[in-house]
Structure 1
Amino acid sequence: MKDKDLLVERVSKKTNVKKEDIFKLANDLQKKDLNNEEDMRSFIQTVAKVTNQTLDQRKIDKLVKIMKNKDVLNDVEKMI
């Protein structure tokens, strides 16, 4: 449990996203099927909203492509 709290704390500081929002995103992610493109797009839009980012369709398409290719795991590992 301590490692999870430390990870969330680090992500929170790096992204300026409240820990509560990170936990909400994690809970939302557990309910999504990230093999389903519609769920991917929905989750991307939720993350954008929480992080106060605006994404045009081109950026969303690019993120979906990255997720489909599983490239996102490598990027997340680099951030931690």
Structure 2
Amino acid sequence: MQNPFFKQIENKTGVGMEDIFELANAIQNADFKNEKQVRKIVQRVSKLAKKPITRDLEDKIVQSIVKDGNALDFSKIEKMMKQ
């Protein structure tokens, strides 16, 4: 996309809009009770953000999301990432 708004987001984040839209689509269509789907999304976010996470932290994030089902508590996940 050549929209200046999206170009600005790409420049600030270093993540292409195509990747962001693919991630948004995956999140929108995900079954957050399905551990395999949630794990793939967590891995994808980690990769896009260029923030590698340990397997232990990945497990904690995945279990937190799966346990809550349809609710994503981003503040809770953010706190886990800062530990």
Q: Which of the five TM-score ranges fits, normalised by the shorter chain?
A: 0.5 to 0.7
Contact 1:44 1:60 in 2 (8 A): yes
Is the 1:12–1:22 contact (alpha carbons within 8 Å) kept by the matching residues of 2?
no
Task: Give the partner amino acid of 1:72.
Answer: D
**Counterpart Cα distance in 2 of 1:44 and 1:60:** 7
The whole-number CA distance in structure 2 between the counterparts of 1:26 and 1:44 is: 12
Q: Higher relative contact order by CA 8 Å / sep ≥ 6: 1 or 2?
A: 2
Cα distance in structure 2, aligned partners of 1:43 and 1:14: 22
Give 1:52 shift.
0.6
* Deviation of the 1:21 alpha carbon: 3.0
Relative to the length of structure 2, the TM-score reads 0.58
Please report the TM-score for the alignment, with normalisation by the length of structure 1: 0.60
Of 36, 50, 53, the match for 2:51: 53
Unaligned regions of 5+ residues in structure 1, if any? 1-7
| Superposition deviation, residue 72 in structure 1 | 1.4
| Structure number with bigger Rg | 2
One-letter identity of the residue aligned with 1:64: V
Gap runs ≥5 in structure 2: 1-5, 77-83
More helix by share: 1
Identity over aligned residues, as a percent?
A: 33
Call closer, same or farther: CA 1:19–1:62 in 2, change over 3 Å: same
Q: How far does the alpha carbon of each residue in 1:8-59 deviate from its partner, in whole angstroms, 9 at most, with x for none?
A: 9xx9898664544322211122332111001110110011111111111101
